[in-house]
Structures are given as C-alpha cells and as structure tokens.
Structure 1
Amino acid sequence: MTEYGRGPGSEPWHPEDPLFGDQGWGGQQPAHGQSQYGGRQQDPYAQQQQSQDPYAQQQHDPYAQQQDPYAQQPQYQQQQDPYAQQPQYQQQPSYDQRQSSYDQRQDPYAQQPAYDGGWDTGQPHAAVPYEGQPAAPYHYGETNDYYGTPDAYPPPQPPGRREAAPAQAPEQNPDWDPEVQPEETHPFFTGADDGKAKDDEYDDDPRESRRGDGGERRGKGKKKKGRSGCACLVVSLVLAGGLGGVGYLGYSFYKDKFGSAPDYSGSGSGSVEVEIPKGAYGYDIGNILKKAGVVKSVDAFVSAQNENPKGKSIQAGVYLLHGEMSAAEAVKMMVDPKSQNLLIIPEGTRNAAVYAMVDKKLGLKKGTTQGIAKSKKYDLGLPGWASKNKDIKDPLEGFLYPAAYPVTKETKPEAILEKMVSRSNEEYKDLDLAGTAKKYQLDGPWQVLTVASLVQAEGLTHDDFRKMAEVVYNRLKPDNTATNRLLEFDSAFNYLKKQSEIKIRSNEIRTNPDPYNTYYHKGLPPGPIGNPGDEALRATLSPTASGWMFFISLDGKKTQFTKTAAEHEKLNEKFKELHGLD
C-alpha cells in the first residue's frame, strides 16, 4: 500500500491524493510524531514498492485492500480532478472528459514518471522512501475486485496510452467506435501553430479534449477544413511546378545530347573553298565547315564522318565544296580527291615543271613563279648546308618537296614555295644525310641529296632505287676502272637540256661540256636534278651491296642491272637494235 492508499479504518481520503480529494478540503494534518495513518501500522512494503514502481504512488488503486466505505457518497464521485490544476499532470484527462473519476483509472503496472515525494500543496512533504529497496508485490488480501464484475468500468490505462475519453461511457455513447481510425491531426493540415490547437478550430462541443503537447485531438466537434484544403492545394501546385521544371530540363538535356543534330538537306549550291590545316580532325573540320557555311552543325558533320567508311581518311588540304549542303554530302565530296583544291607535286619533278604548275593553279602569267623563285631564292628558308656553287642552275632544286599542297585563289606564289622548302627541311631533318655523306666519302648532305635525285630519276621501283644507289656509289669510288668514275647518267644530260628523252646519240652526249653532263665530267653534277621523294631518299641511305655497276632499261618499264662491262655491253647492243641507234 502506497502512501496514497487508505488504512483499514474509516478515515477520509488523504488531501494530497492526486486522483481523488478536494484541493480545497481543509483536512487535518498529523500532529508532530503521529502517523498520518491514524495510529495504524504502515505497510513496510509500500515505500519499497514506491522506489521500484514510480507510478504506484499515482496509480495504485486505493480500493484494492478494503471496501470503500465512501462508495455511496456521491460527493467524492463529483470531485474535480487535481490534475487539471497541477502543471506537472497537464496530460491527465480532465473532469469534463469523464463522468466519474473511476472511468479513467490508471493501470497500476504502467510506467509513470517517479514520484518526487509529495504534492505541491504548501504543506511539508512526507519523507521520501529510500531508493534502491526491492519492490514488494501488491497485497490484495481478501478484498473484493470491483473491476471483475460485469457492471464495473474498464481498468485504468497508463498515461502513455491515455486518450481523451468520449463524453459518455461506451455503453452510453452509441456513436463511439474503437475500430474507426482518427482523422489526420498533423499540425500542417489542421493549421495548428507550434503543435497547439486553437480554440476556434473546434466547435459544437466545449468538452472536446485537447492535449497541450500538440498530440492527437479527438471529439465530436468538427474541424474546419479551410486551411487544410489550401495547404494541399499549395503543395500540389509546388509539386506540379517542380515536376514540370524537371521534365523540361530533362527534355532539353535529351534533345541536346541524344536528338538529331541540325543539318541541311541536299548537295547544296554555289562554290565554297575550304582549307583544312594539318592535324585537323573530326570536330576541328566540322567547325571550319560550319563557319564557311558548308554544313549546319558540327555534330551533324562528325556523325556523318563516323558513318562513312572513308570518313577518317580526310586529309589536310583545300577543298572545293558547296554552300549549305548536307553533312553526308560534304563528307562524300571530301573523301573524293577530285574535290580537293591541291597542288600536287609528283616525286622527281624538276623545279621548272613545279613553277609552271603553280602558275597554272593560281591563274598566273607563265613564268611568274619562276621569276619570284629566282629573285627570292635565298629568302625562302634554305638550310645552311645548301650549296651556292655558281654552276648550279637552280639553288631551289631538290628543296621543293614532292607532296600535296593546299592552295586558294588568294594564295601567293612565294607562300607556296616557302611551304615546299619548309616541308623539305622537315623531311631531311629526320634523315641522317651528314652520316651518309661521311660513310660514302661525299662532300656533305648536299651531295647526298644530289645522289637521291639521280636515283629518283633513273629508278622505276623501290627495289630499283636501292640498286641504283649502289651503282652510283660504286662508280664514284677512286678505284673504279670500269667507268673511270664517270656516272654516265642520261637523266643528268636531259636535265641540262630541259628534256626527257631516252634516245640520245653517243656523239652528242659525249661532246657536251655542260657541268651536268656526267658523260663528260667525272663525279656528281653540281646539284640535284629534281626533287626526290621519300623512297629514293631512304634507298640512298641504305643501298644494296651486291656489286652492281651497270644498268639499262630496254623498254622503259623494267631496269636490268649487271656487274661487268661485258654483260652490260650485250644489253646495250640490244637496246640500240630496238631503238635504231648507232
């Protein structure tokens, strides 16, 4: 029995009882040294149980051990709930929420906050039981169980499970249904501020319960739906706007990344000259074409280039295309060599022929480029090892590297010549011309370049080039007695004569004193007789070592090499017979 219980006598309820009792009742307090239980011995287990079950002081049924002599006294059933005036028990149901104090009696086994030793009545508090003592079981003795009868009210519930009771008992309130789920009471939808309901949110029934901590609210009163509907509408509009924005951004992203790129249709019209620099690929080419008005977008060109099997073969150069043409048609034209506006210099071409080609390509008067080359020959970037021998017919010979050069209508002749010389310097830098000259006892890179020009002019195939290089080196040797260091190359004589003939009479070729006539002068001519290509240059650096000394081509398509003069003379006689020479 806790200190809130009653003794076996017929004493009235203790004035500090939190469940029952009139706060205004001026009950007598026990005198000094006298037990508050009227002289009766206190239950020794009451204080122990108090320390273990902190809620026993508040919730223990005072009627558990004896009959309530006041059961017939209505004034105690009509007493006010002391919880309504005590701030620490604001969560307890008020008197208005129940007809009788017995309707909402608490479960003695539910967990409640520990009792602090007394009620704030202004009176001295009773001694707090010692903590840590083991709890003793409740002693019901032989008292009657008033909760076990059919007419009894249901047992009390712990504070954690208390809810506002209906205004009437279940059997008296037919509208109450424990299975019906409560309405939504979240402050966002009810419109409560800081979890507290406002008085104007409920009407009809003044007895509607309201928990001060913003918890559930129940009752027969009707909520006002205005704020809840507005809140839902605002949330819906915000969500709809957010989803719409996300959808638009997603569509834009998909269109930019995965949609078809803007493109023209058809083959276009007009003529557009476009120059593609060296090292330009994919997007670089697309940007150039877009700026020139050929294609509509870079992505369209890149896509068309990837779809065309030959799209990756587009080289640097100048292309003659059409304006506003589809990307696919632009790629198709660019992979066709005919569409390129290039000046193509074949391997072995002499400078005189190169000048004429430049004049024709640029629409210049004949001899214009040759005149510029003669006047600016030392201003075009020749290397330091280039010879300045007075017998050289053209100092630029051998430095107009054979390749394809892009040109436009605005290109100047000196600009093209400068590109050619620059290209030759790049190619020669990668070759060990100085080392080769030293190896074969030549006077520097200049003479190696001259040998390469002879190999290019006389050879027909790559295999011929290497054998032809060996013939040159063998005839240049000091111990050569077969030709006495004479090269005897018809190509050198044709160069000085500015011709390309294979039918040259012996008396003419052996009597011409021109420094480029290798039938008349020993050793190499003063300079290159043409512009050798890469194969001839590399063959000059790596000739065969089979002892070839002579060569002749009977039909101009195939070259035959021999090692002795006797073998060569037989082929030479046959050549004269075929061409009617003496």
Structure 2
Amino acid sequence: MTEYGRGPGPEPWHPEDPQYGDQGWTGHEAQQGQMPYVGGPQQYQQQFQQEQQPYYPQQQQPGQYPQGQQAPYAQQQQVPYPQQHQQHQQHEQTYGGQSQGQGQVWDTGQANYAGVQQTTDPYATADPYAGADPYAQQQAAGYPGETPDLYATSEAFPPPRPPGQRHLDTEEAWQEERAADEAADSFLAGGGSDDDRDGAGGDDGGRGGRRSGRSGGGKPKKRSGMACLIASVVIIGVLGGGGYYGYSYLKDKFSSAEDFTGAGIDETVDVEIPKGAGLGQMGRILKDAGVVASAQAFVDAATANPKGKSIQPGVYPLKKKMSAAAAVEVMTDPSKLHVLTISEGMRNATVYEAIDRKLEKPAGTTKDIAFKQAKTLGLPAWANNDPKIMDPLEGFLYPMRYDLSKDSTPESLLKQMVKNATDKYAELGVEGKAKELGLDNPLQVITVASLVNAEGKNHDDFRKMSEVVYNRLKKTNDITNRKIEFDSTYNYITGKSEINFNIAEARAFVHPYNTHNMAGLPPGPIGNPGMDALTATLNPDHGGWMFFVSVDGDKTTFTKTYDEHLKLVAEFQARQKQKNGG
C-alpha cells in the first residue's frame, strides 16, 4: 500500500473536509472502530501499524505504479467496516499479495501491474515519473464506487498545515482581528467611515474579501487628513525650534552680551555665591536674581577686572539691574561681603558687637541674648562649671567665617558658632585628654588654649607657651608660686589690649581672672582659641620653659631660668623707653 499525500504533489487532506475524519499529519484516514477478523487478526493489525509509520523515501522497486498513475488508495472513500474488508480482499486478489512469515499477507508493491515490465534484478529500479511534470495537477484514478476528487475544484480546501501551524480562522478570531485593525486605523487616520476601514470589501464582504483587501488585492484604505496635519505640525515645530536655537547660538557667539547701565535701581537683594562657583555660575546666579542682564556680561566684566578672579563665596548685598562692571566692583571689595569672620583668639565682646553691626541690630542686642539664653544655645554639659565665669559663651564661639543671609538672626548665629566649637572639641578628644595634661576638667583645656592664643604669635610659640603654663601650674613651682602672670588676663578684665601697663597696679588688682594676683588658671577662657592653639595645648613642647618675653614685639624668646628672664625684661624696657622718646 502507499501513503497518500507523501509525494511531491499538494496534500489533499484538510481538517474541515466534511467527508473525511481527522486524517492526522500522515494523511491516513482514522482506523477507528476496526476489529480483527476471525481467522486473520494479525494481518490487519500489522498492516495498520505499517501504514502509521513515518514516511522515508526509498528506492523504487520493480512492479510499482506506471508513470503518471497515482496510488490506488489515494482517494479511498470511507465506507462501513464490512465493505472495507471486502475491498481489501479484492485488492489482494487483484494485485496479488506476497506472503511472508506465519501466513501474514500485506501489499509489498512487487506484484505484476498492468503496463509495468517485470525484471529479474531485484535492485533494478524504474522511474515511474519519467517524462511527467511533477507539479502538474494529476487526475486521481479511483476505484469504482469512489467519490470524485473534491480537492481539484475551485471550492477545494487549502492544503493542510503542520500541527504546530494549524489555526482555525474562526469568526470570533476574525472579528477580534478586525476590531484591532479598526482601532489602529482610527488612531493613525483620525477616524473615518466603515468604508475607510473595511476597504474594497464593503461592510463585510466575507473573509475572502477581507483577506484580499489586506493582501493588496482590494481597494487601498483611505486615510484622514488629520495624520498629514499632525505630521506637518511636527515638522514645522522641529524646523522652527532648530532655527530659534541656531539664532540664539549665533547671537551669543557673535554679538555683545546684554548689559544694564549704572549702579542699579533702589532695590537691594542678598545674593549668595556658593563655594567653588566659577564666573559662569556666578553670572547665572546674578542674572536669576535680577542683578545683571546676562551671565556673559558678568563673565566679560570679571575677566577684564584684575581682581575679578578673586571673588570670594558668600552673601553680597547688591542692587537690581546693575551693570556687570558695577556688580564686579562690589563683589571684589571684601568689606562689601555679607559675612561675619571670627578671628582666632577673638573675645566674645568683639563678636557680639560684630553681629549687631552686620545684622543692623541695636548695640548690646546679641550680648543680652547670649547671657539670657546661654543654656539653650547648645553648650556641652562640661561648660559653665564655675560660678565666677564672666561670660558663659566665652571660648565656644568658634573662629571661622559665617555667611549671613536675610534669615540670619543673633540666635541662629550664636547656635551655629557654639555647635562648630562643640563639634571641634569632640573631634580633638578634649574630654579624654584633660586628665593626661594634669587639668581638672575639659573647660580648663579650652582656658589654656585661650591663654596660649592670646600670648603667642604662631604655632611654634603656642607649643612653648603651653609648656610655660603647665610648668607654672605645677605645685613644685616656687618661682612664681603657681601664678601664671599673663598680661592677657589683666587686659581681659579691663577690656583692653595694652602691652605697657603698671605691673604694680596689676599685681594689686584682685580679680579671679587676674593671673598676676591669683594662682592657677582663671575660671574660664579669655577668648576663642583657634585650631593651632588647641592642638598646641594638647601637644606641648616639653622643653622645660618657664619664661618668655617679646623684646621687639615680633619675636618671642623663651627661657628656663628666672635670671635669663630678668635680662630679657631689662632689654625690653630699654626698647620701650627709646620708642617713647624717653
């Protein structure tokens, strides 16, 4: 037997053929309901299994079908089971089956057929298709009683597809596909009628019309003018935007920058220049604040000014609509910078006055807040441990530059200064090193640093100066009897900074802060020490120094004995008389 549909021609079986069952991909009709005959059950069972095996092309054997003639079972009509058995028996009798093994009979394809020349060579092959067009539609020759070939007509079903590609194009699937196409057409074309969406197929036109329209066989779909309008608007927008930016670029490149004239109008704004800002960023900040007309004008003016590149970060009070040159002139003047700078060793009294002046507050405003709100400004717990302290914030207004703004207040500035000092003291480990230095508490560390900062001139002086303080505080000090005798403490009490004063009067003046009269350290700091003084206090020189004198006012000379010190004192006094014309 031969398996229909495995030749080079089209495969006739189709899942929707009403006259045939599910033939499967092999092209055989279903062998359902068959029961083995009595007396020969194995014959039809093996024949059925053989027909279901995959097809593999083999060499043509002698005695096969003549050229141009299809297999006799190509179009076998499905008939009841007894009739199938009868036809099978007739087929065996007609073509002659060859028996192999235990009486089982099947079609070997080697029987004598009409018009086929037999050969004795079992391996000789005859080309049954010689001279025939393999792609020509051949008329199927069936057996008597078979139905005509419905696949040769124009109404024939299309050839079957592999199982993985089979898809029943149902009405529901077609409707979903049509709805998706209509939605896409409506979005792209801006709507339209049913004719616009359905094309040449009319309202429906059947699936054949719809498919032919999609494949290009029907009338092209109409498109609304809205799509063209949108595309035109987009193109015009792109060309217009590119032209505008091109014009702006050429204008900035080859024309002079916009600029105001004069010192500006009577409206002041505070402009903050951040750290690390370049001239370009400064210009943009000023332009956004309404101070200058363009950033480029400011860059040009700053470049032309010799001091233009030395503009410091901070807050500047500037007029609106100033010329770029006028803005640069103000910003290169340090006195115009809206900042407050606390120098190393500065006393609190001076800081209070500076805050009042910068914030335009009445004199004494900041000092009054400092004394009344000292406990709420963020002081550490170890501060203010002596009731004799003159100023609770002394030593805790850390020296550095503070940028001011329109929101700055005395309270906000004092809190920021106290926080900076407290953070710095914690970073240096002041609390843990107090005992190592022979001091009673961390506040005395800050007090020593304030004395060192007031008397010394540089870091080397600070280290030797701290050594002097520690040596004079020792109980074994029988030269000064544990008196520090620093002039800076007497000046702190009097609010002065004098070098020449009556030493006898100073020793007679009784005050807790007067180290010429009282032994030991004063109750609290006498200023706000800087980083150099603090590190020198924590790491003294250890050179055994006990005395020091600045003979010429610039260089400080340190000595270990009192006799050396007296010689330096005499030299200093002689210089002072000569300087005063005496």
| Fold conserved between structures, TM > 0.5 | yes
Deviation at 1:496, TM superposition (A): 1.0
Question: 5 Å matches for 1:467-506?
Answer: 467-506=464-503
Q: C-alpha offsets along residues 39-81 of structure 1, whole Å, 9 cap, x if unaligned?
A: xx96979x9666356517xxxxxxxxxxxxxxxxxxxxxxxxx
Distance 1:248 1:50 in 2: 75
Identity over aligned pairs, percent = 42
- Alignment counterpart, residue 414 of structure 2, candidates 409, 413, 417: 417
Q: Which amino acid aligns with 1:358?
A: I
Q: Which moved more, 1:435-444 or 1:299-308?
A: 299-308
Deviation at 1:506, TM superposition (A): 2.6
Deviation at 1:444, TM superposition (A): 1.2
Question: 5 Å matches for 1:22-101?
Answer: 51=129, 54-55=132-133
- Tell whether the 8 Å contact from 1:273 to 1:318 is kept in structure 2 after alignment: no
Q: Which amino acid aligns with 2:548?
A: F
Question: 5 Å matches for 1:535-550?
Answer: 535-550=532-547
Q: Which amino acid aligns with 2:388?
A: D
Deviation at 1:559, TM superposition (A): 0.9
Deviation at 1:529, TM superposition (A): 0.8
Deviation at 1:297, TM superposition (A): 8.6
Distance 2:293 2:312 in 1: 19
Would the alpha carbon gap of residues 519 and 237 (structure 1) be closer, same or farther in structure 2, given more than 3 Å must change? closer
Would the alpha carbon gap of residues 257 and 456 (structure 1) be closer, same or farther in structure 2, given more than 3 Å must change? farther
Provide the residue aligned with 1:273 in structure 2. Answer: 269
Find the residue that maps to 1:537 and give its secondary structure: helix
Q: Which moved more, 1:419-428 or 1:248-257?
A: 248-257
Provide the residue aligned with 1:380 in structure 2. Answer: 377
Provide the residue aligned with 1:369 in structure 2. Answer: 366
Would the alpha carbon gap of residues 275 and 253 (structure 1) be closer, same or farther in structure 2, given more than 3 Å must change? closer
Distance 2:215 2:386 in 1: 109
- Tell whether the 8 Å contact from 1:350 to 1:529 is kept in structure 2 after alignment: yes
- Tell whether the 8 Å contact from 1:493 to 1:516 is kept in structure 2 after alignment: yes
Deviation at 1:437, TM superposition (A): 0.9
Gaps of 5+ in 2: 1-65, 70-93, 95-113, 119-124, 150-198, 202-211
Provide the residue aligned with 1:464 in structure 2. Answer: 461
Q: Which amino acid aligns with 2:346?
A: T
Distance 1:269 1:478 in 2: 69
Deviation at 1:547, TM superposition (A): 1.9
Would the alpha carbon gap of residues 509 and 237 (structure 1) be closer, same or farther in structure 2, given more than 3 Å must change? closer
Provide the residue aligned with 2:7 in structure 1. Answer: none
Find the residue that maps to 2:340 and give its secondary structure: strand
Find the residue that maps to 1:551 and give its secondary structure: strand
Q: Going by fraction, where is helix more abundant, 1 or 2?
A: 2
Would the alpha carbon gap of residues 245 and 416 (structure 1) be closer, same or farther in structure 2, given more than 3 Å must change? closer
Provide the residue aligned with 1:200 in structure 2. Answer: none
- Tell whether the 8 Å contact from 1:321 to 1:339 is kept in structure 2 after alignment: no
- Tell whether the 8 Å contact from 1:55 to 1:115 is kept in structure 2 after alignment: no
- Alignment counterpart, residue 345 of structure 1, candidates 317, 342, 351: 342
Would the alpha carbon gap of residues 260 and 469 (structure 1) be closer, same or farther in structure 2, given more than 3 Å must change? farther
Would the alpha carbon gap of residues 260 and 473 (structure 1) be closer, same or farther in structure 2, given more than 3 Å must change? farther
Provide the residue aligned with 1:24 in structure 2. Answer: none
Provide the residue aligned with 1:524 in structure 2. Answer: 521
Question: 5 Å matches for 1:277-292?
Answer: 292=289
Find the residue that maps to 2:376 and give its secondary structure: coil
Q: Which amino acid aligns with 1:556?
A: G
Distance 1:567 1:465 in 2: 20
Distance 2:500 2:226 in 1: 102
TM-score by length of 2: 0.55
Distance 1:338 1:363 in 2: 15
Would the alpha carbon gap of residues 236 and 394 (structure 1) be closer, same or farther in structure 2, given more than 3 Å must change? closer
Deviation at 1:117, TM superposition (A): 3.4
Distance 1:390 1:510 in 2: 23
Deviation at 1:418, TM superposition (A): 2.7
Deviation at 1:342, TM superposition (A): 1.4
Q: Which amino acid aligns with 1:451?
A: V
Distance 2:140 2:435 in 1: 117
Distance 2:331 2:472 in 1: 48
Would the alpha carbon gap of residues 383 and 260 (structure 1) be closer, same or farther in structure 2, given more than 3 Å must change? farther
Distance 1:535 1:213 in 2: 88
Distance 1:327 1:43 in 2: 112
Distance 1:410 1:334 in 2: 21
Find the residue that maps to 2:374 and give its secondary structure: coil
Provide the residue aligned with 2:552 in structure 1. Answer: 555
Would the alpha carbon gap of residues 424 and 260 (structure 1) be closer, same or farther in structure 2, given more than 3 Å must change? farther
Would the alpha carbon gap of residues 51 and 327 (structure 1) be closer, same or farther in structure 2, given more than 3 Å must change? farther
Provide the residue aligned with 1:580 in structure 2. Answer: 577
Provide the residue aligned with 1:515 in structure 2. Answer: 512
- Alignment counterpart, residue 562 of structure 2, candidates 565, 572, 575: 565
Distance 1:380 1:237 in 2: 68
Q: Which amino acid aligns with 1:475?
A: R
Q: Which amino acid aligns with 1:533?
A: G
Deviation at 1:280, TM superposition (A): 9.3
Deviation at 1:299, TM superposition (A): 11
Q: Which moved more, 1:434-443 or 1:410-419?
A: 410-419
Q: C-alpha offsets along residues 376-402 of structure 1, whole Å, 9 cap, x if unaligned?
A: 333322221112423211112112222
- Tell whether the 8 Å contact from 2:347 to 2:394 is kept in structure 1 after alignment: yes
Question: 5 Å matches for 1:115-514?
Answer: 115-117=138-140, 243-244=235-236, 247=239, 265-266=259-260, 268-274=264-270, 276=272, 292-294=289-291, 314-315=312-313, 317-324=314-321, 334=331, 337-408=334-405, 411-514=408-511
Deviation at 1:457, TM superposition (A): 0.3
Distance 2:433 2:494 in 1: 30
Deviation at 1:469, TM superposition (A): 1.2
Distance 1:214 1:363 in 2: 86
- Tell whether the 8 Å contact from 1:300 to 1:327 is kept in structure 2 after alignment: yes
Distance 2:348 2:450 in 1: 12
Distance 1:286 1:407 in 2: 20
Distance 1:452 1:459 in 2: 10
Deviation at 1:250, TM superposition (A): 6.3
Distance 2:264 2:372 in 1: 43
Distance 2:435 2:558 in 1: 26
Deviation at 1:327, TM superposition (A): 8.1
- Tell whether the 8 Å contact from 1:287 to 1:298 is kept in structure 2 after alignment: yes
Provide the residue aligned with 1:11 in structure 2. Answer: none
- Tell whether the 8 Å contact from 1:306 to 1:312 is kept in structure 2 after alignment: no
Deviation at 1:240, TM superposition (A): 6.2
- Tell whether the 8 Å contact from 2:395 to 2:528 is kept in structure 1 after alignment: yes
Q: Which amino acid aligns with 1:320?
A: P
Larger Rg: 1
Distance 1:214 1:458 in 2: 101
Q: Which amino acid aligns with 1:445?
A: P
- Tell whether the 8 Å contact from 2:484 to 2:519 is kept in structure 1 after alignment: yes
Would the alpha carbon gap of residues 3 and 558 (structure 1) be closer, same or farther in structure 2, given more than 3 Å must change? closer
Deviation at 1:125, TM superposition (A): 8.9
| Number of residue pairs the alignment of both structures matches | 400
Distance 2:328 2:200 in 1: 70
Would the alpha carbon gap of residues 52 and 383 (structure 1) be closer, same or farther in structure 2, given more than 3 Å must change? farther
Find the residue that maps to 2:375 and give its secondary structure: coil
Q: Which amino acid aligns with 1:540?
A: T
Distance 2:214 2:458 in 1: 103
Deviation at 1:359, TM superposition (A): 2.7
Deviation at 1:422, TM superposition (A): 2.5
- Tell whether the 8 Å contact from 1:345 to 1:403 is kept in structure 2 after alignment: yes
Deviation at 1:533, TM superposition (A): 1.5
Q: Which amino acid aligns with 1:369?
A: T
- Tell whether the 8 Å contact from 1:272 to 1:323 is kept in structure 2 after alignment: yes
Deviation at 1:487, TM superposition (A): 0.8
Q: Which amino acid aligns with 2:129?
A: S
Q: Which moved more, 1:397-406 or 1:320-329?
A: 320-329
Distance 1:305 1:117 in 2: 100
